[in-house]
Amino acid sequence: MDMKYIIQKKKSGRSLTSEEIDEMVQEYVKGQIPDYQMAAFLMAVCFKGMTEEETANLTLSFVNSGDKLDLSDIKGIKVDKHSSGGVGDKISLIVVPLVAALGVPVAKMSGRGLGHTGGTIDKLEAIEGFNTRLSKKDFISNVNTYKMAIAGQSSNLTPADKKIYALRDVTSTVESIPLIASSIMSKKIALGADAIVLDVKVGSGAFMKSLGEAKDLARTMVSIGKSLNKKTIALVTDMNQPLGHEVGNANEVKEAIEVLKGKGAEDETLVALTIASYMAVLGGVFQDVNTAYKALEELIKSGRAIEKFRELVKIQRGNPQVIDNPKLFPQAQNHIDIKAHKNGYVYKIQAESIGRSAMLLGAGRKTKEDIIDLSAGITMVKKVGDKVSIGDTLCILHSNMDNCMEAEEIALNAFSIGTTKPPEIQYIYDVIE
Ligand code: URA
């Protein structure tokens, strides 16, 4: 193909046809287009954008570049969820058993993480014996029988996105709404769900720092989903402080269990139940989110939610005793209190810094090869709006490392303490349907 012409066309702000986009993507995966030409094209997209139609076509080309999961043997409307990523985000662990308990099939393929903490798959490995390497047959059969399964995803999913994302990372072309939206949506669509609920995070610990950008991304992803015949809803939710009180792997699973037992933090519970409610509506078991929300609260109150999580642990061969005895989770040796140096109110928390501190403690990977310490992490004792006095513990670092000085300093500096109470944080800013 004439890649120079394609770059020129985008550089001058014209739209590409679906054939042009597809040919370019498939040839790039095969190594027939050099990185320098693809990088020039990506930079042109950063400046000139893409129409909704082009963005949907790019998504489809990414999907068609690799394996696709065929979930047609699963009965019912399969609903997936995706988060654009945040600190302390353990929502998937909560919503899978909740939505499954309502009878909606949840076939969850998740990844491992690079960054502050591991991904959902890493987190689940904090439960002794929990098996996320399910064969396709077992995965489908578990969803048909129990309405839920969580497994690691195939390595040949959307290889075009993988190759282009790596190039964007080193050519400063990550920040483009159509490129981000097509990258995220291609992975969801390749995973075969019929309906998708997106959790677009915004704030200091999120990819999107401003509400305007987050809404744009949410709208673009909803439009891609709809044009590819997937029912899609996006929520724009807060990430100006870690979600809930725990950041890490084992401690995030422990906190998810608390939410399912009805003892979760207010922000975490509200966001998880709202996402689960939209999943229930898209899954066709409720007409409206308010009724779905009430049914989910009832599941928690009656104990059925935590029993469904116990069932998930048992069917994937984990040790269900962790649910009643949190000491059975991996335990860190060292616990360091980070204390307030000032009286006042927690005015702001740099969520990204808390994530970075957690990573330095061993909770996350800097490179793919790093090994995660599942017991490492941070407990947020104080959150935005809390009153503090000098000497009060702001957060507790959990680690097995001898020297945590850098992590301690970063965690302390993540807290801004002011003399007045900050405005209330809104947990959910918008819902885009
Ligand atoms: N996450 C993705 O998967 N892709 C992007 O482009 C950005 C974040």
Q: What is the 3-state secondary structure (H, E, C) of 372-413?
A: CCCCCEEEECCCCCCEECCCCEEEEEEECCCCCHHHHHHHHH
Q: What's the pLDDT tens digit per position in 308-322?
A: 999 999 999 999 999
Q: What's the pLDDT tens digit per position in 19-56?
A: 999 999 999 999 999 999 999 999 999 999 999 999 99
* Number of other CB atoms surrounding residue 47 within 10 Å: 11
Which tokens go with 169?
Answer: 């990372």
**The pLDDT value given to residue 44:** 98
Closest ligand 1 atom number to CA of residue 184: 3
Mean pLDDT of the region 217-231: 96
Cβ neighbourhood burial of 75 (10 Å; 0-12, 13-18, 19+): exposed
Mean pLDDT of the region 143-169: 92
How far, in Å, from the CA of 49 to the mean position of ligand 1?
16
Q: How far is CA 370 from CA 233, 350, 365, in A?
A: 35, 25, 5
Pocket test for ligand 1, best of 169, 183, 202, 216 (most atoms within 8 A of CB): 183
**Catalytic annotation on 187?**
yes
Q: Which residues of 387-421 are buried (b: 16+ CB within 10 A; e: fewer)?
A: ebeeebebbbbbbebeebeebbebbbebbebeeee
* Number of other CB atoms surrounding residue 67 within 10 Å: 15
- Dihedral (CA of 143, 148, 154, 160) sign: positive
Q: What's the pLDDT tens digit per position in 84-126?
A: 989 999 999 999 999 999 999 999 998 877 677 889 999 999 9
Q: What's the pLDDT tens digit per position in 289-306?
A: 999 999 999 999 999 999
Instruction: Say if 315 falls within a structural domain.
Output: yes
**Catalytic annotation on 68?**
no
Please, what is the average pLDDT of the chain?
A: 96
Which residue out of 80, 122, 161, 194 is catalytically annotated? 161
CATH of the domain at 102: 3.40.1030.10
Instruction: Say if 69 falls within a structural domain.
Output: no
**The pLDDT value given to residue 207:** 86
Percent of the chain with pLDDT over 70: 100
Instruction: Say if 70 falls within a structural domain.
Output: no
Pocket test for ligand 1, best of 165, 187, 221 (most atoms within 8 A of CB): 165
Q: Are residues 304 and 353 in the same domain?
A: no
**What single string gives the DSSP state of each residue in 310-336?**
HHHHHHTT--GGGGT-GGGS---SEEE
Q: Are residues 376 and 337 in the same domain?
A: yes
- Whose CA is closest to atom 3 on ligand 1? 184
Residues contacting ligand 1 via CB (< 6 Å) = 165, 174, 179-180, 183-184, 207
Q: Are residues 163 and 206 in the same domain?
A: yes
**The pLDDT value given to residue 114:** 67
Closest ligand 1 atom number to CA of residue 174: 6
Model confidence, pTM? 0.94
Instruction: Say if 249 falls within a structural domain.
Output: yes
Distance from C-alpha of 89 to C-alpha of 75, rounded to nearest angstrom = 29
Q: What is the 3-state secondary structure (H, E, C) of 131-170?
A: CCCCCHHHHHHHHHHHCEEEEECCCCECHHHHHHHHHHHH
**Contact criterion met (CB below 8 Å) for 322 and 329:** yes
Q: What's the pLDDT tens digit per position in 254-263?
A: 999 999 999 9
Pocket test for ligand 1, best of 174, 208, 216 (most atoms within 8 A of CB): 174
How far, in Å, from the CA of 209 to the mean position of ligand 1?
15
How far, in Å, from the CA of 84 to the mean position of ligand 1?
8
Q: How confident is the model at residue 175 (pLDDT cuts 50, 70, 90)?
A: confident
- Whose CA is closest to atom 8 on ligand 1? 180
Q: Are residues 243 and 123 in the same domain?
A: yes
Which residue out of 162, 187, 245, 365 is catalytically annotated? 187
* Beta-bridge partners for 150: 108
Which tokens go with 189?
Answer: 């669509």
Residue 343 carries which side chain, given as an amino acid letter?
N
Q: Are residues 149 and 165 in the same domain?
A: yes
Q: Are residues 263 and 346 in the same domain?
A: no
Count: domains in the chain: 3
Q: Are residues 338 and 249 in the same domain?
A: no
Span between the terminal Cα atoms of the chain, in Å: 38
How far, in Å, from the CA of 178 to the mean position of ligand 1?
11
Mean pLDDT of the region 60-76: 95
Q: Are residues 163 and 193 in the same domain?
A: yes
Q: Are residues 99 and 12 in the same domain?
A: no
Q: Are residues 109 and 166 in the same domain?
A: yes
Mean pLDDT of the region 184-198: 95
Q: Are residues 151 and 169 in the same domain?
A: yes
How far, in Å, from the CA of 184 to the mean position of ligand 1?
5
Mean pLDDT of the region 141-165: 93
Q: Are residues 287 and 340 in the same domain?
A: no
- Whose CA is closest to atom 6 on ligand 1? 180
- Whose CA is closest to atom 5 on ligand 1? 180
Distance from C-alpha of 273 to C-alpha of 175, rounded to nearest angstrom = 30
Contacts of 214 by beta carbon, 8 Å cutoff, 6+ apart: 200, 201, 202, 206, 208, 236, 429
Instruction: Say if 30 falls within a structural domain.
Output: yes
Answer yes or no: is pLDDT of 360 > 70.
yes
**What single string gives the DSSP state of each residue in 231-277?**
EEEEEEEE-SS-SSSEEESHHHHHHHHHHHTT---HHHHHHHHHHHH
Q: What's the pLDDT tens digit per position in 261-277?
A: 999 999 999 999 999 99
CATH of the domain at 386: 3.90.1170.30
Mean pLDDT of the region 159-179: 92
Which residue out of 61, 83, 92, 183 is catalytically annotated? 183
**Catalytic annotation on 161?**
yes
Question: Which domain range does residue 36 map to?
Answer: 3-49
Percent of the chain with pLDDT over 90: 93
